[in-house]
Chains A and B, each alone.
Chain A
């Protein structure tokens, strides 16, 4: 069993739809990261969470520490949001457990 489970694995949405990607983890964490990886391979860190909720533009990330669950929401999705979204649990300073990623395609 993986320490970090993401769902869904693949997601196709119409432009404008509200999108949710889920992440469950089984380890004790110091922080939970949401990363965005584009087809070229570069990774952008979207959020680092240790509690509550964070919002940046159309992106919202929430975490429930008791339930060991986090969600990434995208409001009013756009084709440029198409990417792989990765949930990563930071256990210690250098130890990360990664989810397998959610490949999102937003169709115009």
Chain B
């Protein structure tokens, strides 16, 4: 089945720790995105990638890093510099930028 997978579903982080959220797609999409959703708020773009080996900062990139070494994978690292990381993280992909995005199931990150 084609789709987007994110893992883990829940992730706990201790203060001062870096954690990496996985996002994989087998849809052969060029573009991939990371969003953050806080309770009662809309989606906010963290980073996006139009093509392999390229990525751009979104609205709230500070404290996050990404890589796009393979077309199907776009991992997000939440660094210790991110002061308020507790949120629901959604990964998405689209055939190309400006086309319909398909979302993964999300990862809920909690800071202990």
Q: Which residue of B lies closest to A34 (CB)?
A: B42
Tell me, yes or no, whether B90 is within 8 Å of chain A by CB.
yes
Q: Which residue of B lies closest to A45 (CB)?
A: B42
Q: Which residue of B lies closest to A35 (CB)?
A: B43
Chain A residues closer than 8 Å to B44, beta-carbon distance: 45
- Judge whether B100 and A43 touch: CB under 8 Å: no
Q: How large is the interface on B (under 10, 10 to 19, 20 to 34, 35 or more residues)?
A: 20 to 34
Question: Of B18-26, B65-73, B75-83, B102-110, which stretch is located at the interface?
Answer: B102-110
- Judge whether B41 and A48 touch: CB under 8 Å: yes
Tell me, yes or no, whether A98 is within 8 Å of chain B by CB.
yes
CA distance A31 to B50 in the complex (A): 27
Chain B residues closer than 8 Å to A43, beta-carbon distance: 33, 43, 45, 48, 58
Among B31, B42, B59, B101, point to the contact of A98 (Cβ < 8 A).
B101
CA distance A93 to B43 in the complex (A): 11
CA distance A95 to B105 in the complex (A): 8
Among B56, B100, B105, point to the contact of A42 (Cβ < 8 A).
B56
Tell me, yes or no, whether A72 is within 8 Å of chain B by CB.
no
- Judge whether B88 and A37 touch: CB under 8 Å: no
For residue A95, give the distance in angstroms from its CB to the closest CB of chain B.
7
Tell me, yes or no, whether A94 is within 8 Å of chain B by CB.
yes
Interface centre among A39, A93, A100 (most CB of B within 10 A): A93
Among B45, B56, B90, point to the contact of A44 (Cβ < 8 A).
B45
CA distance A41 to B103 in the complex (A): 16
1/0 per position for B49-61, CB-CB distance to A under 8 A?
A: 0100000101100
Closest 10 CB pairs of A and B: A41-B97, A45-B42, A48-B42, A94-B106, A45-B43, A94-B105, A98-B100, A43-B45, A33-B42, A94-B103
Interface residues of chain A, those whose CB is within 8 Å of chain B, are 31, 33, 35, 37, 39-48, 84, 93-96, 98, 100-101
Interface residues of chain B, those whose CB is within 8 Å of chain A, are 31, 33, 40-45, 48, 50, 56, 58-59, 88, 90, 97-98, 100-101, 103-106
Q: Can you name 9 A-B pairs with beta carbons within 8 Å?
A: A35-B43, A41-B50, A41-B56, A42-B45, A43-B43, A45-B42, A47-B42, A94-B90, A98-B101
